[in-house]
Amino acid sequence: MDMDSASGNEMPARWLDLYGDYLYSLAFTRVSHRETAEDLVQETLVAAIQAHGSFRQQSSVKTWLTSILTHKIIDHYRKRDVLKNTVEYLAGTEDGFTEHFFEKDNGHWLDASAPEPWHEGADATIDQQEFQQVMQQCIQKMPPRLVPVFIARFLEDQDADSICKDHALSSSNYWVILHRAKVLIRSCLEKNWFLR
């Protein structure tokens, strides 16, 4: 029997065994903290067990649990107020960010911060476990306000409209956050992976 089928015949008592590792991995990549990821998985399973009677079986149990977990992660960031006062944060950090990476008079890259060409096999390294660990370390080094937006866009492949709605961001703040996150991730990956 396919345990990921849309039949929904799986027993809730088995969900942890069947999907626990997957859910934990997903949560950990989003929050980068072991205990928080474990708590989110536990909250997800409790919520799913409580709502099991209303599960319409229009998707697989795994997909349903993933959806619940995604909402729990969004709630986690909202509760932490990570994106609270985003406008003030972006304005307050603009000068330091710009001075570190760009020439003030024309906005061009500083020589020390300009992107370097990556080796030809760069695309193949993305699947390597060691690269994934470096990527997680780079995400953890980012300012906390940038992390949920970066993860939603590039790891969860969400569209801009849903990210802005979920995180209560204006379109312009969304694009500024993405720009900064991409610059920081690129810089970190170059130092710790591609140009080492």
- Phi and psi angles of residue 102, each rounded to the nearest 5 degrees, phi first: -130, 155
Q: What is the DSSP letter of 110?
A: P
Structure tokens at 144: 């906390």
**Predicted pLDDT of residue 196:** 56
Is the pTM value of this prediction over 0.85? no
CB 82 within 8 A of CB 144: yes
In this structure, which CATH number among 1.10.3470, 1.10.1740, 2.60.40, 3.30.1490 belongs to the domain 12-79?
Answer: 1.10.1740
In this structure, which CATH number among 3.40.50.300, 1.10.10.10, 3.30.300.30, 3.30.420.10 belongs to the domain 86-194?
Answer: 1.10.10.10
Domain boundaries, the chain: 12-79, 86-194
For residue 6, pLDDT over 60 is answered with no
pLDDT, tens digit, 9 for 90 and up, residues 122-179: 555 555 777 778 888 888 888 888 888 998 898 888 899 999 988 888 999 999 999 9
The DSSP annotation for 125-156 comes to HTTSHHHHHHHHHHHHHS-TTTHHHHIIIIIS
**Predicted pLDDT of residue 83:** 55
Query: What confidence category does residue 50 fall into, taking pLDDT thresholds of 50, 70 and 90?
Result: confident
Structure tokens at 142: 């980012």
CB 152 within 8 A of CB 190: no
CA distance 166 to 113: 32
pLDDT average, residue stretch 13-20: 88
Over its C-alpha atoms, the chain yields an Rg (Å, rounded) of: 19
pLDDT, tens digit, 9 for 90 and up, residues 96-117: 666 766 777 777 776 766 666 6
Least Cα distance to 73 among 16, 26, 133 occurs for 26
CA distance 41 to 39: 5
CA distance 158 to 160: 7
